[in-house]
Amino acid sequence: MIRAVALPDINFSQIRPHDGSRHTGFEELITQLASLEERPAGSAFVRKGRGGDGGVECFVRLANGDERGWQAKYVFDWDASLEAQLDKSMKAALAKHPRLTELTVCIPFDLPDGRPNQGKSPTRKKSARQKWEAWKAGWEQKAADQQRALTISLWDSGALGGRLIIDSPAYSGRLLYWFGATALTSEWFAEQFGKAREALGSRYTPDTNVELPIRKTFLAFARDPSLDGTVLEWSLALGDRGSGALKAIARALGENDEPQEITALGEALSSFIQALDIEPIGPESQFPLAAWQVAAQACSSACYDALNWVFTLPASQAEHGVTREDWAREELYRLIDVVRDIEAELESDDWRLANAHAVLLQGKAGTGKSHLLADVVEHQIHANRPALLVLGSALVEGEPWKQVMAQLDMAPDLQAKHFLGSLDAAGQAAGVRAIICIDAINERHGTDIWPDRLAAFLKMAEPFPHVGIVLSCRSTYVQHVVPESLNDDRLARITHQGFAGRGG
């Protein structure tokens, strides 16, 4: 059983604070546990942002459009205040989620069972359990009065604890993260980086940092939240430029019928924008790059077809020195520039690595691989995001995960899968991937450690979507430490060219 290893007791009053608040920590734990629940094929898990939860912390949207939601309340007694809070959340949930069919209320305490006591007055005070049952029945009836089918259930302390002790790394890792005493806090990550930085010595000098494009690529691998912002920018730019182009073409057409080329352009634009118009994608999911690339290609082709057609239009009377046809062509060129920029970005290392779960940084000696990884880890730590740097030179022949954990001062009886599960929770709480960077796997005993163990090392981390592994290796040693079985699907590769003369 899970209790055979060093895992903490469950005490919701001592849950790890998140963003400085235990209340927010409890909400985040509920969101994480909800994300682990089995759900039907074709459904999608959606977490809501803080401050505007719409009556739920998160929900699952089923393939038919119905929704299952979770609402958390971090209070320890059933009283009028809790009922008022729940009433407010229910009103918001029913108003903002018209397809909500199931709602789970989550509280960090157990409700005493209300049993009738013989000889007592029938007007005796209701128990907390009876109050819950009455509240639940009342809101299910209100939903029925609105011609809505709604089922309300409860995750109390017992139900939550039962999930946290499931013998699975995903659950036990969250038990370790949310109820562990000192590990995986912001201070702990900073302390671990401080040790690695000292060991690197002259190979890492923060004062010499240069923000090269490859740094941005590794932030994309860590699933920096700016990626979702980029997708939104693409959608807005397409909508703006597309609208301008179609309006300019309509002016050039005048009273003439719209040709097939222009109809196709409108449809391609609409399809591309619709493909980009999705919920923010967390590290647990893949960006639909292939679908976006297909839509971009179709949109680009439609733009050129429309442009060729506009060139066939006879010249009209110039207005302010520009004909309507000239203006339509100019707007199409601007739209083409936007589409081509998106196509180029989708082909970049940034987006390729965003969908990878492990990456090998290779480069010649002296290109600054160590400096780059230290810079990336320090950036993440300063942003309160989980990141670790481990020096390959400190490892000896033997099982690598145990050695990595020993370098990080983890308990010797803690299993690697539980450690990775806790890192997964830390990454999910931060909205990014927790990255573990193993620098210079070619150094010291690298050729003894990795050839027969690297595949299993990466396999151990694969079940944890909020954990990413980065390895660096001198190019001339790659063939000696990386087995041929690790293709790009399991270990993406990128070459570092810059920082010549700064170590690595």
Task: Show the 3-state SS of 244-287.
Answer: HHHHHHHHHHCCCCCCHHHHHHHHHHHHHHHHHCCCCCCCCCCC
| pTM to 2 decimal places | 0.88
Topology of domain 186-211+356-495, per CATH?
Rossmann fold (3.40.50)
Q: Which of 356, 354, 313, 306 is nearest to 334 (CA)?
A: 306
- pLDDT score, position 359: 98
What strand order describes the sheet that includes 492-495? 387-391, 434-439, 467-474, 358-363, 492-495
Give the rounded distance of the alpha carbon of 257 from its chain centre. 47
DSSP string, 338-388: HHHHHHHHHTSHHHHHHT-SEEEEEE-TTS-HHHHHHHHHHHHHHTT--EE
Helix (H, G, I), strand (E, B) or coil at 90: helix
Query: How open is the CA angle 146-149-154, to the nearest 5 degrees?
Result: 115
| Domain ranges across the chain | 2-179, 186-211+356-495, 226-350
Mean pLDDT for each consecutive 10-residue tract of the chain (504 residues)?
58 93 96 95 84 81 96 94 94 94 97 62 75 95 94 96 92 92 85 92 66 88 94 96 95 86 96 92 92 97 96 84 91 97 97 96 91 94 96 92 93 91 95 96 93 96 96 95 92 82 42
Of all helices (H) and strands (E), which one includes residue 136?
helix 128-145
Contacts of 119 (CB under 8 A, 6+ apart): none
DSSP 475: G
- Give the other-Cβ count within 10 Å of 93's Cβ: 23
Give burial (CB, 10 Å; 0-12/13-18/19+) of 90.
Answer: buried
φ, ψ at 323 (rounded to 5°)? -80, 165
According to CATH, what is the number of the domain 226-350?
Answer: 1.20.120
φ, ψ at 498 (rounded to 5°)? -90, -175
DSSP 75: -
In the chain, how long is the greatest CA-to-CA distance? 99
Bridge partners of 322, per DSSP, are: 319
Domains 186-211+356-495 and 226-350 share a fold: no
Cα–Cα dist 409/402, whole Å: 11
φ, ψ at 316 (rounded to 5°)? -100, 180
- Give the other-Cβ count within 10 Å of 186's Cβ: 14
- pLDDT score, position 114: 60
Query: How open is the CA angle 62-56-462, to the nearest 5 degrees?
Result: 60
